[in-house]
Structure 1
Amino acid sequence: MSFIREGELTFIERFFANILKAGPMPKHVAFIMDGNRRYAQKCHVERQEGHSQGFEKLAETLRWCLNLGIREVTVYAFSIENFKRSKEEVDGLMDLARQKFSRLLEEQENWKKHGVCIRVLGDLHLLPVDIQELIARAVQATRSYNKCFLNVCFAYTSRHEICNAVREMAWGVEQGLLEPSDVSESLLEKCLYTSNSPDPDLLIRTSGEVRLSDFLLWQTSHSCLVFQSVLWPEYSFWNLCEAILRYQMNSSALQKARASYMDERKRQQMAKDQAYVRKKLQQEGTASHEDPVHQQNLLQQYTAMREERIQAFLQALEQKRVDFLDRLCTASA
């Protein structure tokens, strides 16, 4: 069976999908796939079988998303906190990861056909080396595809991600790529694991839990959050449609809030740049601080230099991440 299941929606599903598409559709949906263990308990099967059924449900959900025109999906596959579970369960989850990432590699033609780029977001160093190598091969094999994106958060928590972003900025300063004054909300956002993705429009959590469990805390500040009681392995096309309808009901307010936030962030950056220029003019100790043309030129020069530094830093950061994956691929060859 293909990881992205082939096949079209039923007539009724297509009919309802077309109705949904008349309204604003989320471009990026995130899932907290919760309820696998409770499903196993409910069905009187081993926990491992519950997790396996959860992965199969992901394959089906990806097909629904593709048919609905949702081109980016992010899933919470394994939290760093999950390492605290019993050794038996953690080992079982690692074995399942080996199976699934191996299957991804076996189905490269299918990923190419759909143009799916796979990204694995998290601290890969925490994983067994063989799984790191499988992940690196899957990511590198699909990195050039851009029709749709599957982001798998594995060995991930949001607080760990934010701390890592701060460390990356500190590395940039240490390397002389950044000035301390370059550090900002905007730059931190570009250092997150999710920097290549837009923020989710819609986040869905199953199983009835109404918390984010340290998932995409930064990225979902202006997302529609939908909590559904269904256990993840029992998730249906109609559950997804319900969540999208709730997004559509709140879409306008969410877009306004996001636009307002971005405008305020730009205003704050401009104020920060202007404060730097005023300080520079005062240091010059000349009448130039009264010349508006000189002030504007200095502001433009400073802004251009800052942007140049940031772009050089981000390119170096991306190259560092690519080199890490390349080394893993080489080790597994």
Structure 2
Amino acid sequence: MSWVSDYQYKWYETLAMNVVRAGGNVPRHIAFVMDGNRRYAKSQCLPKIDGHSHGFEKLANCLRWCLDMGIKEVTTFAFSIENYKRSEEEVNDLLDLAREKFRKILLEEQKLNEHGVRIRVIGNINLLPEDLQLLIAKAMMLTEHNDKLFLNIAFSYTSRDEITQAVETIVKLGEGLEPEDISQRLIEECLYTRNSLPPDMLFRTSGETRISDFLMWQISTTVLYFTNILWPQITLWNFLCGIFTYQRACLRLEPFKRHKRIEHAMQAKECNYYSDRVLNFLQKLDSYRKNVLYSLSTSN
């Protein structure tokens, strides 16, 4: 299964897409908690890993729908650090599935470039096997110049770990910073999502109404949408219902989001965000991350 499916729309599905797209604001950035793969496998008397494989197929459909709706960024919660607590067999199966799918990226370079999809993995990849780290780095480097759809894959991720890693980054690379340089804006710049806008909408399947330690820093202005459908069973209609719910909520939320953007800009001016010390630190951080990614992608 390709990373971006060749979904064939029926005429009434195309009509529905056009109606929703014309009916209001379309989210720029959607985050998906793809929950229910194991329950789906159990309901179909399948091995657990088959549930995850079916889940990947639905992700490919969702990426197709997002591209056609004009959505610019998608973040998916693929593998939590908490998942390491599952059975050794299931963890190994999940890592093997990840290897298969990241190898697929290397074989689909032309198709991903045609669609303009850029792969970015967010998470503590140091916890992953070295061969998987290599595949991830190569996939990110291979698509780094694409800019039509940004696909952020949260793999080996929790929000608490992300914030912890951000603080460790400041300690590690922050020589020359002063205590007054530490601010919310600086911490945001050290998160994995530094190059992303906050999600406009978080879409979770399977009937669970929890965030599960996913993008906790980033979702203060995000519309939360929960549906009972299991992720492998998601359809275009479930997807469009989520978009429609976002459009209704957006009318009430936009003044608040505008206020938060203004507040964010004022905080940057009031703190030392634009000082030479901070700008030098951010430049060092960019170089460090690029060097790490390049070193991983070229290692044997």
Please indicate the TM-score interval, normalised by the length of the shorter structure. over 0.9
Aligned residue number for residue 311 of structure 1:
279
Residues 25 and 244 of structure 1 are in contact (CA less than 8 Å); yes or no, is this contact kept in structure 2? yes
**Aligned pair 1:326/2:272, yes or no?**
no
Correspondences of 1:162-241 after superposition (within 5 Å): 162-173=163-174, 175-176=175-176, 178-241=177-240
Change (3 A) 1:128 1:271: closer
Correspondences of 1:13-162 after superposition (within 5 Å): 13-22=13-22, 23-162=24-163
Residue deviations 1:155-211 (CA, integer Å, cap 9, x gap): 0000100111111222333x22x2221111111111110111111101000000000
User: In structure 1, what is the Cα distance between the partners aligned to 2:164 and 2:137?
Assistant: 22
Shift of the alpha carbon at 1:71? 1.6
What is the DSSP-based 3-state SS (H/G/I as helix, E as strand, rest coil) of the residue aligned with 1:118? strand
What is the DSSP-based 3-state SS (H/G/I as helix, E as strand, rest coil) of the residue aligned with 1:120? strand
Residues 54 and 232 of structure 1 are in contact (CA less than 8 Å); yes or no, is this contact kept in structure 2? yes
Pairs aligned (count)? 299
1 or 2, which has the higher helix percentage?
1
Shift of the alpha carbon at 1:244? 0.6
Tell me, which stretches of 5 or more residues in structure 2 are unaligned?
none
The amino acid across from 1:2 in the alignment is: S
What is the DSSP-based 3-state SS (H/G/I as helix, E as strand, rest coil) of the residue aligned with 2:299? helix
Shift of the alpha carbon at 1:271? 5.1
User: In structure 2, what is the Cα distance between the partners aligned to 1:149 and 1:269?
Assistant: 26
Shift of the alpha carbon at 1:220? 0.9
Root-mean-square deviation (Å) = 1.5
What is the DSSP-based 3-state SS (H/G/I as helix, E as strand, rest coil) of the residue aligned with 1:64? helix
User: In structure 2, what is the Cα distance between the partners aligned to 1:265 and 1:71?
Assistant: 22
Shift of the alpha carbon at 1:8? 4.6
**Aligned pair 1:12/2:12, yes or no?**
yes
Shift of the alpha carbon at 1:50? 0.4
User: In structure 1, what is the Cα distance between the partners aligned to 2:45 and 2:26?
Assistant: 38
Shift of the alpha carbon at 1:316? 1.1
Residues 185 and 268 of structure 2 are in contact (CA less than 8 Å); yes or no, is this contact kept in structure 1? no
Residues 35 and 204 of structure 2 are in contact (CA less than 8 Å); yes or no, is this contact kept in structure 1? yes
Residue deviations 1:80-113 (CA, integer Å, cap 9, x gap): 0000000000000011001000011110111111
Residues 165 and 192 of structure 1 are in contact (CA less than 8 Å); yes or no, is this contact kept in structure 2? yes
Residue deviations 1:124-145 (CA, integer Å, cap 9, x gap): 1000000000000000111111
Tell me, which stretches of 5 or more residues in structure 1 are unaligned?
274-302
Residue deviations 1:272-292 (CA, integer Å, cap 9, x gap): 57xxxxxxxxxxxxxxxxxxx
The amino acid across from 1:31 in the alignment is: F
What is the DSSP-based 3-state SS (H/G/I as helix, E as strand, rest coil) of the residue aligned with 2:214? coil
Change (3 A) 1:124 1:272: closer
Residues 8 and 67 of structure 1 are in contact (CA less than 8 Å); yes or no, is this contact kept in structure 2? no
The amino acid across from 2:255 in the alignment is: K
Moved more, 162-171 or 263-272: 263-272
User: In structure 2, what is the Cα distance between the partners aligned to 1:150 and 1:270?
Assistant: 31
The alignment's TM-score, normalised by the length of structure 2, stands at 0.96
Shift of the alpha carbon at 1:261? 2.2
Residues 180 and 271 of structure 2 are in contact (CA less than 8 Å); yes or no, is this contact kept in structure 1? no
What is the DSSP-based 3-state SS (H/G/I as helix, E as strand, rest coil) of the residue aligned with 1:29? strand
Residues 207 and 229 of structure 2 are in contact (CA less than 8 Å); yes or no, is this contact kept in structure 1? yes
Residues 9 and 67 of structure 1 are in contact (CA less than 8 Å); yes or no, is this contact kept in structure 2? no
Aligned residue number for residue 258 of structure 2:
259
